[in-house]
Structure 1
């Protein structure tokens, strides 16, 4: 029984998953701070709901740029800087992040507009799911060839 537990711990608590969690938390912090700032500033020129959804997209763009660099270099250690490799990784990364953005926007719409949830709380909850989705897509589809 102890061997099974130790193997499970080794499988999930390794350099890759720990660094993904660290950079995932940093990406999430960037995403939430940019969202908060953008939503606050956009609320002066549009409705609160629209400001939340547009601010979410702005936060996504900035956090995806940060996440790509940190995932490529530090998490999945894809060191190739060959144009073809970087473009393939970037394309896959952006497509995967667009899928998680669709989830994020859908979650935010339901939580804020339909359920009346606090936008910052909705953003934090949504980000938990987004981090998991992004890890799976990055590990198995984007940076699979180190």
Structure 2
């Protein structure tokens, strides 16, 4: 297998990692911008989550999983699934930040990076296995 075939075979994973890094940057930079304005990590984490989830949905739908979903009903299901899964990972992110930064006193900037690693893994699994799963003849593969 040559390099081109290897890239094509792993296109989805490579593009997920690429856009995952960009989404993490959106999340982290947003957090850094809003963190000085609040006395807790919760509000800036939520703001950063909202901005990064919007960015992630657009890039995952178009570039990573190349969703072909059309029609209001199917698109609504896809969006609700995506934002629902991200809401769960957002709760994990907020809880992680509260526990390790606010409660235990670890450096919030480092904890935000560690939290993002767990969030990326969870979000990929949810996107791959549930939200953007491929369908064949109307049946889920």
Aligned partner of 2:51 among 48, 62, 66: 62
Q: Which runs of 4+ in 1 moved over 6 A?
A: none
Higher helix share: 1
- How big is the shift at 1:91? 0.1
Alpha-carbon separation, structure 1, partners of 2:102 and 2:34: 18
What is the aligned residue count?
A: 128
TM-score by length of 1: 0.83
TM-score by length of 2: 0.86
Alpha-carbon separation, structure 2, partners of 1:129 and 1:104: 8
- Counterpart of 1:29? 25
Q: Which runs of 5+ in 1 are unaligned?
A: 1-9
For residues 1-146 of structure 1, what are the structure 2 equivalents within 5 Å? 14-40=10-36, 42-43=37-38, 48-49=39-40, 52-145=41-134
Alpha-carbon separation, structure 2, partners of 1:81 and 1:62: 24
- Counterpart of 2:3? none
- How big is the shift at 1:81? 3.6
Question: Residue 117 of structure 1 aligns to a residue in which SS?
Answer: coil
Q: Which runs of 5+ in 2 are unaligned?
A: 1-5, 136-141
